[in-house]
């Protein structure tokens, strides 16, 4: 008949190495779970130390502090009469494992090590951990003395076991094990386990959430049961943002879910469900030949004996965010975590009046919208953080524009090459979002820099439009861009000081992912900053995002920004108008660059295989020779400028074709930019294509003259003796 069980899973905004704060948030989630009647609480991956500790995992200190936190959890009255499942690294037989530690009433029941490690994208778990390679095998683990003295246990089970209570059986997965084609929950379901848990640190990428939800649903679609998914949320110290989405599924339906983006530090999802056996057992017990899981028996029930009400589960409709909404929410939450944890007093952005810097400004405004809404909803932690950031204990944010004035400074840095159009666009947008806006002229600084050069060399460089060489033209553009960076940092450090206020500002960058691919930015220019919320977002997505902002935030100033062609405005104007455009400088459009970027990273294409794919996908637009020219141009630009990625501003990771050099896209930065062998292969293919077209033309020409319909082609591509029939 089954019994009703109450389970809780959660998303926590953990911070790498913040053991004090992490402990507080874990205890808070346990308290909420108990208040809602849960008998089992699941937390995210490595929640005690934080997932993003990276090479700190090598340190013995981190193992010590994790056990100290575990001791505090075991001692806490909040952890009594509820089974707690927490994540931490554990050293066993001198091997470091990523583990779940499951305990109840001051007794550790099981330490379950991760078996399938994440070693792709931004994940490098093999660098710090070893996988547990013995399925369904459990051995003894000797506890540290501080834990022994508390629990009275010398050893506890360690390995791939499952927890058997009086009324059900629970098996654990850890993050990447759900994404693997041979997920442990398959064998666990066949062995009669009814409840599956997954503790994750799954970071946000655009258009990823539906894949994650579908995996959780499918885990119980075939064989039934209950699946709990816990995930980290927030910025725990680097480029990644963990977007939460804790959820519970039963028999293929999502029945409870947490928010994907929020400013809450602790989100707890609770569900009451009826345990039941697998639904569709295609294999009989005789056909299931695997060794059964070792069950760790526990004198505890997840259900109450007097429960006579057995509710049926009600599926939850999951409405996914659009990519534009994800850009509005994810990077904004990331910025807020970074701001409140960095101890700074706000942001400064060089606002040029173009799509990129305007997108960054809109993300900051979205952050202010979310802060005001969180305060309105009674989030005391957000209110306390805001008051600390603005240095006013009585301040209460209610209007996003007014809050933006406290947290955000924008500046338009004009030169003699800047147009009135971009100046006005920047001014109008700043007025609509409420930022403190500055107009700065950099001509004096540029001439001063060039004057120093002229004093030393006796020469004064000229723009190409004024008769200068390519080298002179590029140098003159770069000096403007780099002076803007210097001024941005100067104003960020002293702007509040000049107003008699404490603190400094974080400088925001505004280079998109497509520009990073080709290196279409100056090294150490105004795109160099402290952090960049759009560095992992494509230009095409940013344009859609600004259209979303026009409708959602009524920022009508963005309309003229979207209509204007992207330009760096670093070369002289012609009759007061901009003649330099980004796409002309890059030699390709942003939409073309987005396609090329996905082929380079996601499809793992070099120059030749990229050409072979593009001659098919672009056949309606470009000839093979034109495709070859674009592919060669891209790889020359990419390889010449790859060194810039070693110093690029840390960016919010949002796109899976990001060229980020930190961890995600590990490639050389010194290339042979001739690509001689690769480009020769492309040239050979183009030559074969022209030869083929020549033969086809001759065939049609002869047919039109009523020649024989049976023609033998000499030097045919496949077979010289081949006959072509019509």
**630-641 residue pLDDT tens:** 999 999 999 999
Residue 285 has a pLDDT of: 47
Residue 722 has a pLDDT of: 38
Q: Assess whether pLDDT exceeds 50 at residue 455.
A: yes
The residue-averaged pLDDT of 179-188 equals 92
Residue 651 has a pLDDT of: 93
Cβ neighbors of 8 (< 8 A, separation 6 or more) are: 29, 32, 33, 36, 38, 40, 41, 42, 268, 269, 270, 271
pLDDT digits (tens, 9 = 90+) for 598-612: 999 999 999 999 999
Q: Which CATH number applies to 324-583: 3.40.50.800, 3.40.50.620, 1.10.3720.10, 3.40.50.1820?
A: 3.40.50.620
Residue 278 has a pLDDT of: 45
Q: Assess whether pLDDT exceeds 80 at residue 518.
A: yes
For residues 580 and 657, what is the distance between their CA atoms, to the nearest angstrom? 27
pLDDT digits (tens, 9 = 90+) for 620-676: 999 999 999 999 999 999 999 999 888 889 999 998 888 888 888 888 888 999 999
Residue 579 has a pLDDT of: 66
Q: Assess whether pLDDT exceeds 50 at residue 43.
A: yes
Residue 433 has a pLDDT of: 98
Contact 434, 401 (CB under 8 A): yes
Residue 172 known to be catalytic: no
For the chain, the structural domain boundaries read 7-320, 324-583, 587-706
Residue 171 has a pLDDT of: 96
Q: Which of 352, 357, 358, 658 is catalytic?
A: 352
Residue 286 has a pLDDT of: 46
Do the two domains 7-320 and 324-583 of this chain adopt the same fold? no
Give the tokens for residue 159: 């390995």
Residue 718 has a pLDDT of: 42
Contact 342, 506 (CB under 8 A): yes
Residue 310 has a pLDDT of: 60
Residue 407 has a pLDDT of: 97
Residue 282 has a pLDDT of: 46
Choose between 478 and 716: higher pLDDT: 478
CATH number of 587-706: 3.40.50.620
Cβ neighbors of 604 (< 8 A, separation 6 or more) are: none
Q: Provide DSSP, 355-422.
A: HHHHHHHHHHHHHHHHHHHHHHTT-HHHHHHHHHHHT-TT-----HHHHHHHHEEEEEEE-TT--HHH
For residues 246 and 678, what is the distance between their CA atoms, to the nearest angstrom? 47
For residues 725 and 327, what is the distance between their CA atoms, to the nearest angstrom? 56
Q: Which CATH superfamily is domain 7-320 in?
A: Carbon-nitrogen hydrolase (3.60.110.10)
Q: How many CA atoms lie within 13 A of 663 on its CB side?
A: 18
Alpha helices, DSSP H, located in 232-348:
323-342
Q: Which of 528-532, 645-649, 698-702 has the lowest mean pLDDT?
A: 698-702
Q: Assess whether pLDDT exceeds 70 at residue 58.
A: yes
Give the tokens for residue 226: 């209950």
Q: For residue 553, name the pLDDT band (cuts at 50, 70, 90).
A: very high
For residues 650 and 147, what is the distance between their CA atoms, to the nearest angstrom? 40
The residue-averaged pLDDT of 496-516 equals 93
Residue 521 has a pLDDT of: 84
Q: How far from the centroid of its chain's Cα atoms is residue 275's Cα? A: 35
Cβ neighbors of 108 (< 8 A, separation 6 or more) are: 74, 101, 102, 143, 147, 151, 153, 156
Give the DSSP H or E segment for 231.
strand 226-234
Residue 306 has a pLDDT of: 65
Contact 226, 220 (CB under 8 A): yes
Residue 574 has a pLDDT of: 72
Long-range contacts of 565-568 (CB under 8 A, 24+ apart): 566/354, 566/355, 566/356, 566/539, 566/590, 567/354, 567/422, 568/477, 568/481
Q: Assess whether pLDDT exceeds 50 at residue 725.
A: no
Q: Is 20 helix (H, G, I), strand (E, B) or coil?
A: helix
Residue 639 known to be catalytic: no
Residue 715 has a pLDDT of: 46
Q: Which of 45, 125, 571, 655 is catalytic?
A: 45
The residue-averaged pLDDT of 507-511 equals 94
Contact 277, 194 (CB under 8 A): yes
Residue 114 known to be catalytic: yes
Residue 538 has a pLDDT of: 92
Q: For residue 617, name the pLDDT band (cuts at 50, 70, 90).
A: very high
* Proportion of the chain above pLDDT 90, given as a percent: 75
The residue-averaged pLDDT of 485-514 equals 95
pLDDT digits (tens, 9 = 90+) for 214-248: 999 999 998 889 999 999 999 999 999 999 999 99
Q: Which of 39, 114, 217, 233 is catalytic?
A: 114
Q: Exposed, middle or buried: residue 552 (CB in 10 Å: 0-12, 13-18, 19+)?
A: middle
Residue 719 has a pLDDT of: 42
For the ranges 72-76, 289-293, 415-419, the maximum mean pLDDT occurs at 72-76
Average pLDDT along the chain: 90
The residue-averaged pLDDT of 119-124 equals 90
Q: Assess whether pLDDT exceeds 70 at residue 726.
A: no
Cβ neighbors of 80 (< 8 A, separation 6 or more) are: 105, 106
Residue 120 has a pLDDT of: 87
Q: For residue 303, name the pLDDT band (cuts at 50, 70, 90).
A: confident
Residue 275 has a pLDDT of: 54
Q: Which of 53, 99, 169, 175 is catalytic?
A: 175
Q: Assess whether pLDDT exceeds 60 at residue 710.
A: no
Give the tokens for residue 685: 């293919």
Residue 175 known to be catalytic: yes
Q: Assess whether pLDDT exceeds 60 at residue 716.
A: no
Place of tokens 């305060």: 375
DSSP bridge partners of 99: 88, 113
Q: Exposed, middle or buried: residue 656 (CB in 10 Å: 0-12, 13-18, 19+)?
A: middle
Q: Assess whether pLDDT exceeds 50 at residue 139.
A: yes
């Amino acid at each position: 008949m089954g019994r009703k069980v109450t389970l809780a899973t959660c998303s926590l905004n953990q911070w790498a190495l913040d053991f004090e704060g992490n402990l507080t948030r874990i205890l808070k989630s346990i308290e909420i779970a108990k208040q809602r009647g849960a008998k089992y609480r699941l937390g995210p991956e490595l929640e005690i130390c934080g997932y993003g500790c990276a090479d700190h995992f090598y340190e013995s200190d981190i193992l010590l502090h994790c056990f100290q936190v575990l001791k505090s959890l075991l001692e806490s009255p909040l952890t009594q009469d509820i089974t707690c499942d927490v994540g931490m690294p554990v050293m066993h037989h001198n091997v470091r494992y990523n583990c779940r530690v499951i305990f109840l009433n001051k007794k550790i029941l099981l330490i379950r090590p991760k078996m399938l490690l994440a070693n792709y994208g931004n994940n490098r778990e093999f660098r710090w951990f070893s996988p547990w390679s013995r399925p369904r095998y459990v051995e003894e683990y000797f506890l540290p003395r501080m834990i022994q003295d508390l629990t009275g246990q010398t050893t506890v089970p360690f390995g791939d076991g499952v927890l058997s209570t009086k009324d059900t059986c629970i098996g654990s997965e850890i993050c990447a094990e759900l994404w693997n084609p041979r997920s442990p929950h398959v064998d666990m379901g066949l062995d009669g386990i009814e409840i599956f848990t997954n503790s994750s640190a799954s970071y946000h990428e655009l258009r990823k959430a539906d894949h994650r939800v579908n995996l959780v649903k499918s885990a119980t679609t075939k064989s039934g049961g209950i699946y709990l998914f816990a995930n980290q949320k927030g910025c725990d110290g680097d480029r990644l943002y963990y977007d939460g989405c804790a959820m519970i599924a039963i028999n293929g339906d999502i029945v409870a879910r947490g928010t994907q983006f929020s400013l809450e530090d602790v989100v707890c999802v609770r569900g009451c469900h009826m345990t039941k056996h697998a639904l569709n057992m295609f294999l009989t017990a005789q056909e299931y030949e695997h060794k059964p899981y070792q069950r760790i028996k526990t004198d505890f029930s997840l259900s109450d004996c007097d429960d006579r009400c057995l509710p049926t589960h009600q599926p939850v409709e999951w409405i996914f965010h659009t990519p534009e909404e994800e850009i509005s929410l994810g990077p904004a939450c990331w910025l807020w975590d970074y701001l409140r944890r960095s101890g700074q007093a706000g942001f400064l952005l060089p606002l040029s009046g173009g799509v990129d810097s305007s997108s960054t400004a809109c993300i900051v405004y979205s952050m202010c919208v979310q802060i005001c809404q969180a305060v309105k909803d009674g989030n005391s932690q957000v209110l306390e953080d805001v008051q600390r950031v603005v240095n006013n204990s009585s301040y209460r944010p209610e209007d996003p524009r007014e809050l933006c004035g406290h947290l955000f400074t924008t500046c338009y840095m004009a030169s003699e090459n800047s147009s009135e159009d971009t100046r006005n666009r920047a001014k109008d947008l700043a007025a609509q979002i409420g930022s403190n806006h500055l107009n700065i002229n950099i001509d004096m600084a540029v001439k001063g820099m060039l004057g120093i050069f002229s004093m030393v060399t006796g020469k004064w460089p000229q723009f190409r439009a004024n008769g200068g060489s390519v080298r002179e033209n590029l140098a003159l553009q770069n000096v403007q861009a780099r002076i803007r960076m210097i001024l941005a940092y100067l104003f960020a450090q002293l702007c509040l000081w000049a107003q008699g206020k404490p603190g400094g500002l974080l400088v925001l960058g505004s280079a998109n992912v497509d520009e990073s691919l080709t290196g279409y930015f100056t090294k150490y220019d105004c795109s160099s900053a402290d952090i960049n919320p759009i560095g992992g977002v494509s230009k095409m997505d940013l344009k859609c995002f600004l259209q979303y902002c026009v409708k959602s935030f009524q920022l009508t100033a963005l309309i003229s920004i979207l209509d204007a062609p992207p330009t760096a405005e670093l070369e002289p104007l012609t009759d007061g108008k901009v003649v330099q455009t980004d796409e002309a400088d890059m030699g390709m459009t942003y939409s073309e660059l987005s396609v090329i970027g996905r082929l380079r990273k996601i499809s793992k294409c070099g120059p030749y295989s990229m050409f072979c794919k593009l001659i098919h996908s672009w056949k309606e637009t470009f000839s093979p020779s034109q495709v070859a020219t674009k592919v060669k141009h891209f790889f020359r630009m990419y390889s010449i400028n790859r060194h810039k990625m070693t110093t690029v501003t840390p960016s919010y990771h949002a796109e899976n074709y990001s060229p980020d050099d930190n961890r995600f896209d590990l490639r050389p930065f010194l290339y042979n930019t001739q690509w001689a062998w690769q480009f020769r292969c492309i040239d050979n293919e183009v030559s074969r294509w022209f030869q083929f077209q020549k033969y086809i033309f001759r065939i049609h020409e002869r047919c039109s003259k009523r020649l024989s319909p049976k023609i033998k082609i000499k030097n045919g591509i496949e077979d010289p003796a081949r006959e072509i029939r019509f």
